[in-house]
Chain A
Amino acid sequence: MGRYIVKRVAVGLVQLIGLTVAVFFLIRLLPADPASRLVGMNPSREAYEQARHQLGLDQPLLTQLGAYLGLSSSGPGLLEGDFGTSWVTSSPVGSEIATYLPVTLELVTISFLIAFLVSVPIGMVGALNPGGRSDKAVFVYGLFAGSQPEFWWGLLFVYVFFFALGWAPAPLGSLSPMTSPPPSVTGFLTIDSLLAGQPDVFVEALQHLVLPVATLVFVLSGPIVKMVRQNMARALRADFVLYANCAGLPPARVARYALRAAMAPSMTLIGILYGFMLGGAVLVENVFSLPGIGQYAVRAVLAYDYPAIQGVVLVITALSLVVYLGIDLIHAAIDPRIVH
Chain B
Amino acid sequence: MNAIEPASAAQLAPPPVLHVEGLSVSYRTGERVATPIRGLDLTLRAGEIVGLIGETGSGKSTLALALLGLVRSPGRIVSGKLLFGGRDLLAMPPDERRAVRGRDIAIIVQNPRASLNPLLRIGRQIGYVYRSRAHSSAAETRRQTIELLREVGINDPERRVDAYAHELSGGMAQRALIAMALASRPKLLVADEPTSGLDVTIQAQFLDQMWQTVQHSGSAALLIAKEVGIIANYCDRVLVLHEGRIAEDQPVRAFFRAPLHPYSRAVLALQRDGAAKLSGVAMAAGATTRPLISANGLSKHFPVRNSAKVVQAVSDVTLDIWPGETLGLVGESGSGKTTVGRCFVRLTETTAGHIVYHGRDLERLSGSELRQARAKLQIVLQDPFDSLNPRWTVAELLGEPFRIHTKLGRAERRQRAADLLKVVDLEADLLDRRPRGLGAGAMQRLNIARALATKPDFIVLDEPTSVLSPSAIVSLVALLRRIQVEFGVSYLFISHDLTTVRYLCHRVAVMYLGQIVETGAVEQVFARPRHPYARALLSAHLDPDPANRRVDRRSDEQLKGEIPSPIDLPVGCYLASRCPHVLPRCGEQPQNLVPLADGRSVRCWRVATGDLTGDALTGPLV
- A interface residue numbers (CB < 8 A to B): 237-240, 242-251, 253, 257, 260-261, 264, 334-337
Query: Please, could you name 28 A-B residue pairs with CB atoms under 8 Å apart, sorted by A?
Result: A238-B114, A239-B109, A239-B111, A239-B114, A240-B116, A240-B118, A242-B70, A242-B72, A242-B115, A243-B109, A245-B101, A246-B101, A246-B109, A247-B129, A247-B132, A247-B181, A248-B99, A257-B117, A257-B119, A257-B120, A261-B118, A264-B119, A334-B119, A335-B119, A336-B118, A336-B119, A336-B121, A337-B118
Is there a chain A Cβ closer than 8 Å to B433's Cβ?
Answer: no
A250 touches B101 (CB 8 A): no
Is there a chain A Cβ closer than 8 Å to B164's Cβ?
Answer: yes
Which among A245, A257, A264, A335 is the interface contact of B70 at CB below 8 angstroms? A245
B114 touches A246 (CB 8 A): no
B119 touches A261 (CB 8 A): yes
Q: B102 CB to closest chain A CB, in angstroms?
A: 3
- What B residues does A242 contact at CB under 8 A? 65, 70, 72, 115
A247 touches B101 (CB 8 A): yes
Beyond A247-B101, A247-B129, 17 extra complex contacts between A and B, CB < 8 Å? A237-B73, A239-B115, A240-B115, A240-B118, A242-B70, A243-B116, A245-B70, A245-B101, A246-B70, A247-B106, A248-B102, A248-B132, A250-B132, A253-B132, A261-B118, A336-B164, A337-B118
- What B residues does A243 contact at CB under 8 A? 107, 109, 115-116, 177
- What B residues does A264 contact at CB under 8 A? 119
List of 4 A-B pairs having minimum Cβ-Cβ separation, nearest first? A248-B102, A248-B101, A243-B115, A239-B114
- Complex Cα spacing A240 to B120, Å: 11
B129 touches A249 (CB 8 A): yes
A337 touches B65 (CB 8 A): no
- What A residues does B101 contact at CB under 8 A? 245-248
Is there a chain A Cβ closer than 8 Å to B128's Cβ?
Answer: yes
A335 touches B73 (CB 8 A): no
**Number of cross-chain contacts by CB at 8 Å:** 76
- What A residues does B114 contact at CB under 8 A? 238-240
- Complex Cα spacing A249 to B117, Å: 13
Q: A269 CB to closest chain B CB, in angstroms?
A: 18
Q: Interface size bucket, B side?
A: 20 to 34
Q: A239-B111, A240-B115, A335-B119 are in contact. Are A246 and B102 (CB under 8 A)?
A: yes
- What A residues does B111 contact at CB under 8 A? 239
Which among B100, B115, B117, B119 is the interface contact of A248 at CB below 8 angstroms? B100
B73 touches A247 (CB 8 A): no
Q: A246 CB to closest chain B CB, in angstroms?
A: 5
Q: B26 CB to closest chain A CB, in angstroms?
A: 18
Is there a chain A Cβ closer than 8 Å to B103's Cβ?
Answer: yes
- Complex Cα spacing A239 to B181, Å: 15
Q: Which residue of B lies closest to A130 (CB)?
A: B73
A260 touches B128 (CB 8 A): no
Interface residues of B in 93-136 (CB under 8 A from A): 98-103, 106-107, 109, 111, 114-121, 128-129, 132-133
Q: A248-B129, A253-B128 are in contact. Are A335 and B99 (CB under 8 A)?
A: no
Is there a chain A Cβ closer than 8 Å to B421's Cβ?
Answer: no
Is there a chain A Cβ closer than 8 Å to B180's Cβ?
Answer: yes
- B interface residue numbers (CB < 8 A to A): 65, 68, 70, 72-73, 98-103, 106-107, 109, 111, 114-121, 128-129, 132-133, 164, 166, 177, 180-181
- What A residues does B133 contact at CB under 8 A? 248
- Complex Cα spacing A311 to B447, Å: 60
A335 touches B129 (CB 8 A): no
Q: Which residue of B lies closest to A248 (CB)?
A: B102
Most chain A CB within 10 A, of B73, B115, B121, is at B115
- Complex Cα spacing A55 to B72, Å: 70
Q: B175 CB to closest chain A CB, in angstroms?
A: 15
Q: A249 CB to closest chain B CB, in angstroms?
A: 6
- What A residues does B100 contact at CB under 8 A? 248
Q: B337 CB to closest chain A CB, in angstroms?
A: 27
Most chain A CB within 10 A, of B103, B118, B177, is at B118
- What B residues does A337 contact at CB under 8 A? 118, 164, 166
- Complex Cα spacing A335 to B181, Å: 25
- Complex Cα spacing A239 to B165, Å: 13
Q: B111 CB to closest chain A CB, in angstroms?
A: 6
- What B residues does A250 contact at CB under 8 A? 98, 132
- What A residues does B99 contact at CB under 8 A? 248
- Complex Cα spacing A248 to B95, Å: 9
- What A residues does B98 contact at CB under 8 A? 248-251
Q: Which residue of B lies closest to A334 (CB)?
A: B119
Most chain B CB within 10 A, of A237, A240, A249, A264, is at A240
B73 touches A244 (CB 8 A): no
Most chain B CB within 10 A, of A242, A251, A253, is at A242
Q: A240-B116, A240-B117, A240-B118 are in contact. Are A246 and B68 (CB under 8 A)?
A: yes
- Complex Cα spacing A244 to B119, Å: 13
Q: A109 CB to closest chain B CB, in angstroms?
A: 27
B107 touches A249 (CB 8 A): no
A249 touches B102 (CB 8 A): yes
B102 touches A247 (CB 8 A): yes
Q: A135 CB to closest chain B CB, in angstroms?
A: 14
- Complex Cα spacing A213 to B238, Å: 66
A260 touches B72 (CB 8 A): no
Q: Which residue of B lies closest to A264 (CB)?
A: B119
B118 touches A244 (CB 8 A): no
- What B residues does A237 contact at CB under 8 A? 73
- Complex Cα spacing A237 to B98, Å: 19
- Complex Cα spacing A250 to B99, Å: 9
Q: Which residue of A lies closest to B99 (CB)?
A: A248
- Complex Cα spacing A127 to B98, Å: 21
- What B residues does A336 contact at CB under 8 A? 118-119, 121, 164, 166
Most chain B CB within 10 A, of A243, A245, A264, A336, is at A243
- What B residues does A260 contact at CB under 8 A? 119
Q: Which residue of A lies closest to B180 (CB)?
A: A247
- What B residues does A261 contact at CB under 8 A? 117-119
Q: Which residue of A lies closest to B167 (CB)?
A: A336
- What B residues does A246 contact at CB under 8 A? 65, 68, 70, 101-102, 106-107, 109
Q: B388 CB to closest chain A CB, in angstroms?
A: 28
Q: B588 CB to closest chain A CB, in angstroms?
A: 35
Q: A217 CB to closest chain B CB, in angstroms?
A: 28
Q: Which residue of A lies closest to B121 (CB)?
A: A336
- Complex Cα spacing A31 to B608, Å: 86
- What A residues does B68 contact at CB under 8 A? 246
- Complex Cα spacing A257 to B70, Å: 18
